[in-house]
């Protein structure tokens, strides 16, 4: 059973546009929600993370929106750039283990 459901599987966005990736979970014990960025041939790199006591966290062009009641969280990439083209994974953790989404392949076209 997939603990964290991620969509879409792939996403194509024009340069300068907004990329939005969504994740949903069921386990209310999750209290940490990170996003990872993975380029081909590299390991996943922590991009941004949020805890459920806030509804939004912004770091540069990357924003996490968190809806605790709906058990959903999303990553927004503003002013998307070709260099953002990568695979993005959401994850959730209750503190002792991480559960990853299935990944979203983002392509930003010039």
Binding-site member from 11, 49, 52, 57 for other proteins (CB under 8 A):
49
Quick one: which of 107, 83, 109, 97 has its CA closest to 15?
A: 109
User: Do the beta carbons of residue 107 and residue 39 sit within 8 Å?
Assistant: no
Closest CB to other proteins among residues 2, 14: 2
Closest CB to other proteins among residues 5, 76: 5
Instruction: Give CA–CA dist 12/6, Å, rounded.
Output: 16
- Cα three-residue angle 88-61-15, rounded to 5 degrees: 75
Binding-site member from 60, 83, 95, 110 for other proteins (CB under 8 A):
95
Q: Is 1 in the site for other proteins (CB under 8 A)?
A: no
Q: Which span (55-63, 64-72, 73-81, 94-102) binds other proteins, by CB under 8 A?
A: 94-102
């Amino acid at each position: 059973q997939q603990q964290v459901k991620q969509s879409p599987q792939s996403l194509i966005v024009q340069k300068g546009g907004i990329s939005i990736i969504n994740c949903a979970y069921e386990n209310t014990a999750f209290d940490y929600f990170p996003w990872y960025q993975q380029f081909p041939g590299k390991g996943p790199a922590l991009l941004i993370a949020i805890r459920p006591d806030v509804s939004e966290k912004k770091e540069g062009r990357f924003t996490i929106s968190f809806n605790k009641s709906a058990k959903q969280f999303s990553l927004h990439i503003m002013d998307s750039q070709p260099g953002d083209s990568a695979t993005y994974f959401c994850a959730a953790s209750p503190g002792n283990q991480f559960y990853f989404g299935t990944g979203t392949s983002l392509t930003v076209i010039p």
